[in-house]
Amino acid sequence: MGALELAELKAIKEENCRLKHMYAELDLITGWQKRSSKKALKPAQKRLIASDISQEAGFSIERACSVLLLSTGVFYYKTVKNDLPVIDMLNELAEEHPTRGFDWYYGNLRNRGLQWNRKRVLRIYRSMDLKLRRKRKRRILKRLKQPLIEAKALNETWSGRRAVWIL
């Protein structure tokens, strides 16, 4: 083999290696996309998956976000929500009135002068699982036990069935 043929062979091997690497990376990306696209995911769930991709596959955060079609701004965003006052008030209302629903709780909060957004209160209400009404255990009054009355003649007592008399 000549020098020219050896150079061509080396170039072909490098090209083959590069293509194998691209195929493996593409296969890895499609695998992650299939795992994450089974159901519409929320940004918080996509953040977790993007961090998993970057750790397991060795991708950068930007690359992991592009795989999931997530912007890096959304990945780095930290919420500033402070829902503790709303949670405390909803817990207080749920303790006092466990059989009431969301509309009653929200109306009560508005009557107290708290100007919280309805969507915010509903989101917190649902996250606290208050959407399932807490039912109180109903007490059944004790009745006095009396012995059954024996019928001594026809039509003396009523039992819900017709008495059949065979003579």
Q: Are residues 7 and 71 in the same domain?
A: yes
Residue 139 counted as domain residue: no
Question: What's the number of domains the chain is made of?
Answer: 2
Residue 118 counted as domain residue: yes
Q: Are residues 61 and 98 in the same domain?
A: no
A 10 A CB-CB count for 19 gives 10
- Taking the C-alpha atoms of residue 2 and residue 28, their distance in angstroms, rounded to an integer, is 39
Residue 50 counted as domain residue: yes
Residue 136 counted as domain residue: no
Residue 23 counted as domain residue: yes
- Taking the C-alpha atoms of residue 166 and residue 159, their distance in angstroms, rounded to an integer, is 18
* Enclosing domain of residue 62: 3-76
Give the CA-trace dihedral at 56, 72, 40, 86, to 10 degrees. Answer: 110
Residue 47 counted as domain residue: yes
pLDDT by residue for the chain (167 residues), tens only, comes to 778 888 888 888 888 888 877 777 777 767 766 666 666 678 888 888 888 888 887 888 888 888 788 889 989 998 888 899 999 999 999 999 888 889 999 999 999 999 999 999 999 999 998 876 656 677 888 888 888 777 788 777 666 555 555 55
| Residue 58: per-residue pLDDT | 81
pTM over the 0.85 mark: no
Give the contacts of 86 (CB within 8 A, at least 6 positions apart).
116, 120, 121, 124
Residue 157 counted as domain residue: no
Q: Are residues 67 and 102 in the same domain?
A: no
Residue 26 counted as domain residue: yes
